[in-house]
Amino acid sequence: MKIVSSARASKAADLTGIGCFEDAKVLLEGAASLPAPVRETVRRTLDKKKFSGKAGESFFIPLTPKTGGSILLLGLGKKEKFTLEKVRRAASKLLSQAKLFRHESVRFDVDSFARGFSDAETAAAAVEGFRLADYHFGKYKSRPSPAASVAEVELVSPGRGKALARAVAEAEIVSEGVIFTRNLMNEPANVMTPARLARAAKEMAAKNGLLCKILGPAEIRRLKMGGVLGVAQGSVNPPQFIILENRAHRSARPVVLAGKGITFDSGGISIKPSGDMDKMKFDMGGAAAVIGAMKVIANLKLPVHVIGLAPAAENMPGSTAQRPGDILTCLNGKTVEVLNTDAEGRLILADALSYAKRYKPRALVDIATLTGSCGSFFGDIASGVMGTDPDLIRRLIAAGERTGERCWELPLWDEYFELIRATYADVQNTSRKASGAITAGMFLKEFADHTPSWAHLDIAGTAWADNPRPLSAIGATGVGVRLLVELVKSYL
């Protein structure tokens, strides 16, 4: 991946991607840097009205003696609806076409995409598109399928300033963090146990200058984290509690990020149906996102004090497993009546949110693959967000729009608490009625009441892909990493 100024882009790449908007009058508005023969070839194609520039549309113009390389026109839709996510998806499509035709070099004409955004922002989005679309997890294939690859990507821009180079370098760091998270999530549950997740976090921290502390079963028991202990007691794999901290402005009140780390969720005694249960290895997606975000925050050297908390446990139906009807006492002293052992993620997050009190957070955000109902509501398009601070919710939604990891607010009205008011304890871990995603958020609110600025992200529908997406293969998406990093940037 390299930056090339338009003046130096003399030798033709195997495939050049050009962004085109839907309005016929501006289809080639941003491609002024292209050589005259290339522009003429493209213009003749457009005159035949074979391509309109609608979002997601593409048109391939094969290699000719005049152009010296093939062209891929990439539709961006209407200018007023243009976003950086369309740049990422265009880069993804350009890469897939290059692989299809076995091209070794690709050129991305940054200027043709930079409308409403700077060249630096556009190039950074393109880098994310290329890197994230190029990911695949083939670690356990004994005979990996030979995959087509692209040797070189040129980001062609009129200038090569420091801002552009810095933006591209930062996009590489962010993409690396997402890939790190995807690798954690895609590991099978017999490998990625709570202890292995803790070790991976500790190794990452050592390499990236983060402080790391791991609380083992004895320490968790001493602190009386009844939620973590209750979930973990049916498994032979003991729980862990991961604490990561960057060294920036440690005297300032921190932004605290907490992620659910259920390394496998069988449902416990309230066992899940067998169909798709293999995907429950992804139930540590919140913890993986926090760990990946902390890696990025460290490498970007963001001058914001950030702490990451990741309680990790395995939810299994062993002979010592908790039962429906059991009552737990969490770290903050509140009691929980367990009606359904498959509503376990909120139990370990209850202890994590309670633990965060000692830091007096500036803002507290938890992220979790928490409820199937949230996935049913938003599908794989957006994550649900709830919270007590309108400013924090605004920051998260804005970060989602900027990164393409969109989220939408759900209400946490007081009336919803009546659905989780327990008969024999302070609160019950699930509602007997509907509103599963909201009542899960309401449950967590009971353990974040020490902090005025708290928000909950439910990524149950976005954390993994059953089918390939523009920026991810089947499996873990790494959602949350870019969103959380962008949130932290908003506090600079």
The letter for the amino acid at 458 is D
Q: Which of 86, 89, 346, 482 is an active site residue?
A: 346
Residue with tokens 């300032």: 252
Instruction: Encode 319-354: b = buried (16+ Cβ within 10 Å), e = exposed.
Output: eebbeeebbbbbbbebebbbbbbbbbbbbbbbbbbb
Cα–Cα distance, 373 to 390 (Å, whole number): 23
Cα–Cα separations (whole angstroms), residue 384 to 398, 401, 413, 483 = 14, 13, 15, 13
Q: 386 has which bridge partners?
A: 456
Structure tokens at 472: 């991810």
Pick the catalytic residue: 221, 272, 469, 489? 272
DSSP-derived secondary structure letter, 313 = E
Long-range CB contacts (within 8 A, 24+) of 247-250: 247/209, 247/210, 247/211, 248/301, 248/302, 248/303, 248/304, 248/305, 248/306, 249/303, 249/304, 249/305, 250/305
Angle of helix 194-208 versus helix 285-300 axis, rounded to 10: 10
Helix (H, G, I), strand (E, B) or coil at 3: strand
Can you give the length of the chain in residues? 492
Q: What residue type is assigned to position 180 of the chain?
A: F
Q: For this structure, is 346 an active site residue?
A: yes
Q: Is 348 helix (H, G, I), strand (E, B) or coil?
A: helix
Q: State whether the Cα torsion 232-233-239-241 is positive or negative.
A: positive
In what helix (H) or strand (E) does residue 152 lie, and over which residues does it extend?
strand 152-157
Neighbours of 426 (CB within 10 A): 16
Residue 2 falls in the annotated catalytic set: no
Residue 263's nearest CA partner among 346, 190, 205 is 190
Q: How would you list the strands of the sheet with 327-329, edge to edge?
A: 327-329, 335-337, 427-428
Backbone angles phi, psi at 297, to 5 degrees: -60, -40
Q: Which of 225, 181, 210 is nearest to 462 (CA)?
A: 181
Annotated catalytic sites, by residue?
272, 346
